[in-house]
């Protein structure tokens, strides 16, 4: 696989997340925004390469969506971008190792568990940074998520992860079997 292709795909995922984030009218793109990172994970055989590409993806997304932190403190913004992107790679690396050892569908289920656990921890510790919780993507579309009354943004994060995994699985199946 060509180096520039995989870098482009990593940045494409960040671009899709940024375009889908509030206040954009293209919120629906969040339902395919993780597909590029799933595609990368499926093709990379070395966890170090996956980590680098995932970090690039998360860093670009962090910077594109939370650029405004720079106005308060440039050094604080850079620290937040770097640290938060690093922490966001942990669920993806855990997913990679789980999928490698236990198979595709257990891996995908683990990604959901790892990511939702990450979001929970990220909301409940001293370095809380809830702005990039996936469920926040629907902030400008409350009519889509009336059920947040029961699930909170975690329900939206679950919805986004499930649709992306299903979309990627359908795409992969179509490419493999032509159906």
Instruction: Tell me the pLDDT tens digit for each residue of 134-148.
Output: 999 998 888 989 888
Q: What is the pTM of this model?
A: 0.92
What are φ and ψ of residue 145, in 5° steps? -130, 45
Question: pLDDT grade, residue 99 (50/70/90)?
Answer: very high
Neighbours of 36 (CB within 10 A): 24
- The yes-or-no verdict on residue 1 having pLDDT over 70 is no
Q: Which two tokens stand for residue 161?
A: 């992860």
Spatial contact of 118 and 129, defined as CB atoms under 8 Å apart:
no
């Amino acid at each position: 696989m060509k180096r520039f292709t995989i870098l482009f795909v990593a940045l494409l995922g960040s671009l899709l997340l940024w375009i889908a984030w509030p206040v954009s009218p293209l919120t629906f793109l969040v339902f395919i925004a993780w597909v590029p990172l799933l595609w990368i994970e499926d093709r990379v055989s070395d966890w170090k390469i996956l980590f680098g590409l995932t970090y690039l993806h998360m860093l670009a997304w962090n910077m594109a969506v939370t650029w405004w932190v720079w106005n308060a403190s440039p050094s604080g913004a850079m620290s937040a971008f770097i640290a938060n992107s690093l922490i966001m790679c942990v669920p993806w690396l855990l997913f990679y190792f789980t999928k490698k050892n236990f198979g595709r569908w257990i891996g995908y289920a683990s990604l959901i568990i790892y990511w939702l656990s990450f979001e929970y921890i990220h909301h409940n510790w001293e370095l809380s940074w809830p702005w990039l919780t996936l469920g926040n993507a629907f902030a400008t579309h409350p009519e889509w998520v009336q059920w947040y009354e029961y699930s909170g943004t975690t329900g939206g994060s679950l919805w986004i992860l499930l649709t992306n995994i299903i979309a990627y699985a359908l795409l992969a199946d179509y490419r493999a079997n032509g159906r």
